[in-house]
Amino acid sequence: MSEQYDVIVLGGGPAGYVAAIRSAQLGLKTACVEQWINKQGKPALGGTCLNVGCIPSKALLESSQIYADTARGLTEHGIEVSGVRADVAKMVSGKDKIVQELTGGIEHLFRANKIDWIKGCGSLLSERRIEVTDADAAKSTYQAANVILATGSRPIEIGAVPLHSDRIVDSAGALDWESVPEKLCVIGAGVIGLELGSVWRRLGSEVVVLEAQDMFLPMVDQQIAKDALRQFTRQGLDIKLGARVMASEVNDGVKLQYTDKDGEQQLQVDRVIVAVGRRPNIDQLTSPETDLLIDERGLVHVNEVCETNLPGVWAIGDLVRGPMLAHKGSEEGVAVAERIAGHHCHLNYDAIPSVIYTHPEISWVGKTEEQLKEEGRDYNSGVFPFAASGRAKAMRDTGGMVKILADAHTDEVLGMHIIGGHSSELIGHGVMAMEFEGTSEDIARSVFAHPTLSEAIHEAALAVDNRAIHIPNKKRS
């Protein structure tokens, strides 16, 4: 038996590394077990998010948007450009540099906070013991007063379309292509499918997205989702709903067979991205010895404060219920560390924002109109289109809208939904309003700088009460 810790965190992604840092800040002797080996063959912290998720995908989304704007979008500003060329290999290596800087930054924070990084694959044993197998297959065992499980998730694979080196890849593979496929199929019109499909579309691929469900973005307010589908289609993403892939065959590209409402279809493409969801990494956590409770969806079962069924064993991030989002996992990490240290903590699961980083970005917090209808709740709605925003006009980026849903009796903000450029930066207004149990009137009475995109939030709040200034209002009843 080797060292004893107050806290051992298993997994160094945004849930785990944040839990480790907060634990150490609170004076707890902390270690974090992480096994990730990066593209350069070196151990790395940061998990999916920093290595193959949030950060690299946003780096490529940013670079590809600048390319698309420069190649096709500047004429409206009176700027003529010619000879624009994308150096995709350079984009990818630029993305790699950002990843290395950020993951190195976490390593630095671990040193500054005196957190021991135990490199290797950890398994949960009984009585809060962790066995770690290092790169040389040597095993060590560690004991902790508290164990925080944060082993994250990995892509789901589908039998009909098995991964195949460069031709059929998951989300991580699609971040490393150094050439643009002429014809690309994305399987799954979820968050990853739309973001990565957009990257390669902007760089010139012909993109077909096959989505099994008939409904587009069912988790998004449907007024927003309909607008998104229209805008994405106009950008050239060929999104086929109700399309079930039955088989695939690798030839000089990939031949796909799928069925839709019109029957059996075939599609020949150069490459395929499979983006049909993610599943939790529980293999090293479950053994008859540990008896860790797993729920019906394969996630580690936790209560509302992230305690598992085992005393002193907590679980956070993609491993447990709730949206698979980096910031959700990080906040759970903070809350669990604080609870272990005997502090009060608070995490409002009703006010966690979501963003799809397409163009336009789709951002939301709280309930959709469909959810409120299903709950039978009385609500008022206010909508303001960016087409009526002076700043959006100046930016030549007028697609989309802000929608606010407020309780019909108390006026409390129940949801904010935005489709539009930079909406990821705007949705924080909705989070703050909901966190402080604010009303649409509170937003309406706040002063927003002119001209800004955020004025659309002000106007949507005014529209809840039919008194928006820059659009005609609904008739008062």
| Residues tagged active-site | 450
Residue from 190, 329, 400, 430 in contact with ligand FAD (CB under 6 A): 329
**Residue with smaller CB distance to ligand FAD, 48 or 205:** 48
**Spatial distance between the Cα atoms of 168 and 161, rounded to a whole number of angstroms:** 8
Minimum gap (Å) between residue 33 Cβ and ligand FAD:
5
Collapsed DSSP state (helix, strand, coil) of residue 145 = strand
Give Cβ neighbours of residue 388 (< 8 Å, ≥ 6 apart). 456, 459, 470, 471
The answer to the question of residue 34 lying near ligand FAD (CB under 6 A) is yes
Report yes or no: 204 and 180 within 8 Å, Cβ to Cβ. yes
Over its C-alpha atoms, the chain yields an Rg (Å, rounded) of 24
Q: From the list ligand NAD, ligand FAD, none, pick the one residue 317 interacts with, judged by a Cβ distance below 5 to 8 Å according to partner type.
A: ligand FAD
Collapsed DSSP state (helix, strand, coil) of residue 464 = helix
Window contacting ligand FAD (CB under 6 A); options: 6-14, 94-102, 375-383, 401-409:
6-14
Amino acid symbol at 311? P
- Convert residues 108-127 into a mask of x (bound to ligand FAD by CB under 6 A) and - (unbound): -------------xx-----
Give Cβ neighbours of residue 375 (< 8 Å, ≥ 6 apart). 367
**Spatial distance between the Cα atoms of 365 and 277, rounded to a whole number of angstroms:** 21
**Residue with smaller CB distance to ligand NAD, 47 or 385:** 47
Phi, psi for residue 248 in degrees, rounded to 5: -140, 150
Residue from 48, 198, 308, 368 in contact with ligand FAD (CB under 6 A): 48
* Binding residues for ligand NAD (CB under 6 A): 158, 187-193, 195, 210-213, 244-245, 275-278, 323-325, 355-357
Q: What sections of 236-384 are H helices per DSSP?
A: 326-340, 369-375
- Convert residues 282-321 into a mask of x (bound to ligand FAD by CB under 6 A) and - (unbound): --x--------------------------------xxx--
DSSP string, 388-446: G-HHHHHTT----EEEEEEETTT-BEEEEEEEETTHHHHHHHHHHHHHTT-BHHHHHTS
Q: From the list ligand NAD, ligand FAD, none, pick the one residue 404 interacts with, judged by a Cβ distance below 5 to 8 Å according to partner type.
A: none
- Residue 276: closest CA among 307, 245, 300, 233: 245
Q: From the list ligand NAD, ligand FAD, none, pick the one residue 158 interacts with, judged by a Cβ distance below 5 to 8 Å according to partner type.
A: ligand NAD
The answer to the question of residue 188 lying near ligand FAD (CB under 6 A) is no
**Residue with smaller CB distance to ligand NAD, 158 or 347:** 158
The answer to the question of residue 171 lying near ligand FAD (CB under 6 A) is yes
Neighbour count for residue 477 (Cβ, 10 Å) = 4
Residue from 267, 324, 453, 463 in contact with ligand FAD (CB under 6 A): 324
**Residue with smaller CB distance to ligand FAD, 30 or 151:** 151
> Under the rule (CB under 6 A), what is the footprint of ligand FAD?
10-16, 33-36, 47-49, 53-54, 57, 121-122, 150-153, 171, 192, 281, 284, 317-319, 324-327, 329, 357
